[in-house]
Amino acid sequence: MPEGLSRRSFIKLAATAGAAAAVPGCEPASRKLIPYVVPDENVTPGMPTFYASTCAECSAGCGIVATVREGRVTKLEGNPADPISAGSICARGQAALQGLYNPDRLANPMVRADGGSLTQISWDQAIAQLNDHLGRAIKAGKDRVAFLGAPQGPAFRKIVDAFLSAHGSSRAVFYEALGNEPRRAAAQAVFGRRDLPVYRIDQAQTLLSFSSDFLETGDSPVEYARQFAAFRAPRQHRSGLDIGRSFYVGPRMSMTAGRCDRWIPAAPGDEAQIAWSVLNVLIAQRWVSQNSGVDLNALASLVAAYDPASTSKRTGVPAEAITAMAEAFGKADGAVALAGGDDDLLHTAVCVLNAVTGNVGRTMLFLDGGPSEAASTPDEVAAAMTAMREGKIDVLVIAGANPVFTMPPALRAAESLQKVPFVVWCGGVPDETAAMANLLLPAHHPLESWRDTFPRAGVRGLGQPVMQPVFASRATGDILLAAAQASGASSLPGKTTEEVVKAQWLAMAPQGGAEDFWTTARREGGSFSEAKPAAVRLNTGALRAPSPSSSPADLTFVTFPHIFLGDGDGADKPWLQEIPEPITQIVWDNWAEIHPSTAARLGVSKDQLVELRTEHGVITAPALISPRVHPGAIAVPLGQGHRAYGRYAKDRGSNPWEILAPGSLRIAVKVNPTAATRELITPLGKSELMGRSIVEAMSIEELARGGAPEEGPLAPEPYEMYAQYDYQRMWGMTIDVNACTGCSACVAACYAENNVPVVGKEGVIRGRIMSWIRIERYYPEENEPGPSVYLSPMLCQQCNHAPCEPVCPVFAAYHTKEGLNGQVYNRCVGTRYCENNCPYKVRRFNWFIPEWPEPLNLQLNPDVTVRGAGVMEKCTFCIQRIQHAEITARIENRPLRDGEIITACAQACPAKAISFGDMKDEQSAMMRRRADNKLRDYRSLEELNTQPAIVYLRDLYREKGKA
Amino acid sequence: MNRILLPLAAVLLISGLGAVAVSERPWLPRNDVVQPIPFSHRIHAGVNKIPCQYCHEYARRSENAGVPPVARCVGCHGSGITGGIKPVTRAWNDHQQPPFEIRWNRVYTLPDFVKFTHRPHIHAGLACQQCHGPVETMDRIVPVKEINMGFCVECHTQRKATLDCVDCHH
């Protein structure tokens, strides 16, 4: 990023082709051409500029590269230099753009009158009010000013500390709704250190997940998806050709559970006992590492009560499953156990499991020199809320957190905030907490501001603004620093956030090379090095085992962060609302997963609203009757239930936080069916394959045997309707379904790259969803061999014998000279014959003029036409990227290089499941992937003789009884 | 009566449709565009023989040819090289004042569904005049040819350039 960013004049060629792309179809672009006054040497109008930064959508801290066109960011991709993202980001990261351009963002400072109504004021007035209240708070005494917000990096912490000390206070509360306290407590008990470990799933041959949805949420979903793909890739194990063995123990079949070899249903809270039982078997069978240095006798007495037979009796988990897990875990050459949830005894058990098998330092690493703890402990948070209620705080600044929404009722967040005389809220889209604030200040989006991240030892991410602010917002750090200065602070870490961040980096720089280091960091998006794992020892003295107990007779409510909406902060982004949750395929709503036997007992039917009552409160949710949840559990995702937070989030579903106790995501619940129903909406048709070869799988045993016996060709004798065309180039894809996790990053990337509109819940109900690529989900029928769930990307297959092409009366659907099924928007008259004739159902029709409420339209990619009503559209294999690369190659007078073109979906895939390339080039990486996996290849619906350009590689599963 | 009214109605209807058809093609080049300052391409490109890409510097690198930044104008006009006209009456790079912007009026536009890019055309050795006409003779830019698909395809056919629809329509 040039020094000039802040000064950069954004007077630009405002009317370059497509800049007015929000106006669909034939309306004119702007008639004005406004050139730069002074050209920016780094900007070529009409060509993208790239800036490295960091993603702030979750705590993983992925590095990103932002594509900027004419001063506005249009696409985010992973930063290949960053070891965490390694070039890919998830759906939430892709959708950060819709947080930036959200039409409901606060545009100007607002002040709340006593009656509750909001009035717009100027920044000067707002700052004056803030300074006035801060001044009075200082006079009132010590610790009268408090900060409450999410951890936002080391530099931001410095700023908050400086702000508070300038006002005689030390009340900084860094609040994370989904914290890591149980894991830290467990690491403390077992290893005597409170930092969070990192995992190397790719170094393992066996994986046990106890309710850890590491592919969806948690520490680092992108990184772990990448590692899990390597783990699941067929390779030589001791026993021969194999894939990693994976087990998931937990109350519901999440996406992560579905991608494991075996899902073992367990009642919520029973995971710890099962983990200890696995430990019991490991020690009894001596499947432990000889040199782990662990006192096995001490452990043996601790786990004595957990023999598989009695554990099975108590929990209902088959003893066979426990011994199978133990055997796979203990005998593996590298294994890793992971845990999710809030049970510190489960986290303890997982640490011990990894330690006794010698996997700490191998698959579970503690790194020295890592970040100090980011978040406040739950006790500190509770104490701060109490202080507010007791009237000990006069001014509270809230930034990056939504306590009124995410705090369980026992913390009494709303009541506490009410007792604070002056609450200042800094943020984007006004949420439930903003509704209680006295002063609302529009804050920069992370893509508009400076910040730094320190996700782990060796990884320092630098976040820099990638464009000028969309609204009249300011950086939260700048607001705090200005306030501190106004209050007469003698020493500040800097005048602006940029200065603080820069000072932080210069302090890390090698002798004499400070400015170079800073420049490099801005170009590379940070500073990355390999950290060595620390030597840690298991301390058996402090260990505690859970008390053996039977599963509760009552139903247990269990909640979990939604893969896209997280704890609720993703709900304001329409892409994340409209992309179906991979397993349930539900959009724009939340649901209560109920086992069929439980539903029958309670008299609950599909879509019926059930009332979930706990000692803390009551919510309702429509029932999703599914055998993929434990009969003793009612599971509802977090994320919905907002009463504010913009048009896309407001008044949608219910908020599970309202019925939980602090520090726990499960609780005893009473379920009452109500008379009302609400239909759960999914774009999916059938959940069963019904004999169709849409997606295929084979067992790893069969692969090891050398594949299935040769079948006759599925298709009839190759039949050509037209003369063969001599292709110079023919674009194709290879998609490894075994690597795909279902995370839908590809779907979000496609929405961003190709200006795919969102149709809303009503639109999805009417079958009008527009996604060009989707994750199809199927379940194998009972007694049918197959994986727990089929998850496979479906997009235009670019058939060589395309059924869509010959039925178009106006030649809008035609075959290009590079083997694509072209779709010419300006020729299309909307007969929809092509859509009818497509066996893959990947063509989408625009029933209406799509809308992008301002300023969401600023995200639109100017290289792609915005389609109007009455036009058919579909996946183009990112033809704009192909065009760009072909033109560049032609100008440079050289052939196209393999890998030069990468479609948005392939680029986004964390597991690198999608390869794109030229089918005429046998040496292309895409074709080599086909050749290397000959035993696994299939084409979707091959028997139709459509000759797709996409070759899938079969998903792999384990034959029954071998898991 | 009907013998007069019906043909009249028909004429009105057809001319009305024609008017609609024309007004709904607002991307067509216009020859009535007046610019905010009396800039002459004849003097610059014709008399003084300044190469097109001296000012339209992005043409070979980007999809846009680019309208020259004000700094490019001032490069000659403000430095005394020409010693001639100085149309800039105040400090053009004074950041304290509202930006000194020239709001040119567009002569050539394309609809959103056409993705034209200058870059390959310049590298193919086409003269700017091929599409834009003898600009060096014009005081005020007026389009010489209607830039429609027939115009593109004719040249693409002659030069054996791509005729694949999706290369431009995507």
What are the structural domains, with CATH classification, of chain A?
Answer: 1-42 (no CATH), 110-178+376-528 (3.40.50.740), 198-365 (3.40.228.10), 555-677 (2.40.40.20), 730-876+915-957 (3.30.70.20)
Contact A17 B63 (CB under 8 A): yes
Which chain B residues are closer than 8 Å to A32 by Cβ?
103-106
DSSP state of A562: B
Of A7, A879, A891, the CB nearest to B120: A891
Q: Is the pLDDT of residue A593 over 60?
A: yes
- Flag whether B150 is in a domain: yes
Q: Which residue of A has its CA nearest to B63?
A: A46
pLDDT for residue A201? 96
Question: Could you tell me the residue range of the domain that residue B82 belongs to?
Answer: 68-103
Contact A37 B71 (CB under 8 A): yes
Is B129 in the same domain as B161? yes
Q: How far is B13 from chain A (nearest CA, A)?
A: 23
- Flag whether B119 is in a domain: yes
Contact B71 A818 (CB under 8 A): no
Q: How far apart are CA A194 and CA A373, in angstroms?
A: 8
Q: Is the pLDDT of residue B86 over 60?
A: no
Which chain B residues are closer than 8 Å to A31 by Cβ?
105-106, 109
Of A21, A28, A816, the CB nearest to B164: A816
Residue A731: phi, psi to the nearest 5? -75, 140
pLDDT for residue B72? 86
Q: Is the pLDDT of residue A159 over 50?
A: yes
Amino acid identity of residue A249, one-letter, is: V
Q: Is the pLDDT of residue B89 over 70?
A: no
Is B90 in the same domain as B147? no
Q: How far is B83 from chain A (nearest CA, A)?
A: 22
Q: How far apart are CA A442 and CA A429, in angstroms?
A: 9
- Give the closest residue to B147 by CA, choosing from B123, B116, B104, B112: B116
Q: Is the pLDDT of residue A791 over 90?
A: yes
Amino acid identity of residue A723, one-letter, is: A
Across the range A295-306, mean pLDDT stands at 88
Interface-testing mutation among A9, A70, A815, A826, with chain B (most B C-beta atoms within 10 A): A826
Q: pLDDT tens, A759-776? A: 999 999 999 999 999 999
Is B63 in the same domain as B126? yes
Q: Is the pLDDT of residue B60 over 70?
A: yes
- Flag whether B20 is in a domain: no
Q: How far is A31 from chain B (nearest CA, A)?
A: 5
Enumerate residues 6+ apart whose C-beta is below 8 A from A471.
A105, A106, A107, A108, A442
**A-B C-beta contacts closer than 8 Å:** 153
Q: How far apart are CA B104 and CA A34, in angstroms?
A: 6
How high does pLDDT run on average in chain A? 92
Q: Please report which confidence band the pLDDT of residue B3 belongs to, taking 50, 70 and 90 as the band edges.
A: low
Q: pLDDT tens, A1-27? A: 333 333 333 333 333 333 333 333 444
Contact B165 A15 (CB under 8 A): no
Q: How far apart are CA B136 and CA A58, in angstroms?
A: 57
pLDDT for residue A11? 30
Contact A28 B26 (CB under 8 A): yes
With a pLDDT cut of 90, the percent of chain A lying above it is 82
Q: Is the pLDDT of residue A431 over 60?
A: yes
Is B63 in the same domain as B74? no
Q: How far is A130 from chain B (nearest CA, A)?
A: 28
Contact A32 B106 (CB under 8 A): yes
Enumerate residues 6+ apart whose C-beta is below 8 A from A425.
A398, A399, A433, A434, A437, A439, A440, A441
pLDDT for residue A715? 55
Q: Is the pLDDT of residue A347 over 60?
A: yes
Q: Which residue of A has its CA nearest to B67?
A: A35
Is B145 in the same domain as B135? yes
Contact B69 A820 (CB under 8 A): no
Q: How far apart are CA A849 and CA A297, in angstroms?
A: 71
Is B36 in the same domain as B98? no
Across the range A798-802, mean pLDDT stands at 93
Is B110 in the same domain as B154? yes
Q: Which residue of B has its CA nearest to A822?
A: B166
The CA-to-CA distance between both ends of chain A, in Å, stands at 51
In the Cβ-directed half-sphere of A163, how many Cα atoms lie within 13 Å? Answer: 30
Q: How far apart are CA A569 and CA A592, in angstroms?
A: 20
- Flag whether B77 is in a domain: yes
Contact A876 B93 (CB under 8 A): no
Which chain A residues are closer than 8 Å to B109 by Cβ?
17, 28-29, 31
Q: Which residue of A has its CA nearest to B30?
A: A31
- Give the closest residue to A694 by CA, choosing from A536, A532, A839: A839
Amino acid identity of residue A31, one-letter, is: R
Of A47, A824, A866, the CB nearest to B112: A866
| 3-class state of residue A174 by DSSP | strand
Which chain A residues are closer than 8 Å to B116 by Cβ?
17
Is B89 in the same domain as B114? no
Is B149 in the same domain as B161? yes
Q: pLDDT tens, A914-955? A: 999 999 999 999 999 999 999 999 999 998 889 999 999 999
Q: How far apart are CA A225 and CA A199, in angstroms?
A: 12
Q: How many domains does chain B have?
A: 2
Quote the distance between the C-alpha of residue A28 and its chain's center. 38
Q: Please report which confidence band the pLDDT of residue A548 belongs to, taking 50, 70 and 90 as the band edges.
A: confident
Is B73 in the same domain as B109? no
Contact B170 A32 (CB under 8 A): no
Which chain B residues are closer than 8 Å to A818 by Cβ?
164
Is B36 in the same domain as B96? no
Q: Which residue of B has its CA nearest to A879?
A: B170
pLDDT for residue A876? 96
Q: Is the pLDDT of residue B1 over 80?
A: no
Q: How far is B10 from chain A (nearest CA, A)?
A: 27
Q: Is the pLDDT of residue A316 over 90?
A: yes
Which chain A residues are closer than 8 Å to B67 by Cβ?
13, 33-35
Of A34, A46, A824, the CB nearest to B165: A824
Interface-testing mutation among A38, A818, A824, A871, with chain B (most B C-beta atoms within 10 A): A38
Across the range B73-84, mean pLDDT stands at 65
Which chain A residues are closer than 8 Å to B164 by Cβ?
816-818, 822
Q: Which residues are A523's β-sheet partners?
A: none
Is B158 in the same domain as B75? no
Quote the distance between the C-alpha of residue A196 and its chain's center. 20
pLDDT for residue A418? 95
Query: Of A104-108, A301-305, A494-498, which gets the smallest average pLDDT?
Result: A301-305
Q: Which residue of B has its CA nearest to A862?
A: B112
Query: Of A342-356, A380-394, A428-442, A698-712, which gets the smallest average pLDDT?
Result: A698-712
Contact A883 B115 (CB under 8 A): yes
Q: What is the largest CA-CA distance in chain A?
A: 90
- Flag whether B122 is in a domain: yes
Q: Which residue of B has its CA nearest to A826?
A: B113
pLDDT for residue B94? 56
Cis peptide before B87 (omega within 30 of 0): no
Of A11, A826, A887, the CB nearest to B101: A11
Q: Is the pLDDT of residue A136 over 80?
A: yes
Q: How far apart are CA A461 and CA A481, in angstroms?
A: 22
Enumerate residues 6+ apart whose C-beta is below 8 A from B18.
none
Residue B69 exposed, middle or buried by CB count within 10 Å (0-12, 13-18, 19+)? buried
pLDDT for residue B8? 57
pLDDT for residue A424? 97
Q: Is the pLDDT of residue A150 over 90?
A: yes
pLDDT for residue A18? 32
Residue A798 exposed, middle or buried by CB count within 10 Å (0-12, 13-18, 19+)? buried
Interface-testing mutation among A8, A32, A37, A872, with chain B (most B C-beta atoms within 10 A): A37
Interface-testing mutation among B141, B166, B168, B169, with chain A (most A C-beta atoms within 10 A): B166
- Flag whether B15 is in a domain: no
Enumerate residues 6+ apart whose C-beta is below 8 A from B121.
none
Across the range A850-865, mean pLDDT stands at 95
Higher pLDDT, A657 or B30: A657
Interface-testing mutation among A8, A821, A864, A883, with chain B (most B C-beta atoms within 10 A): A883
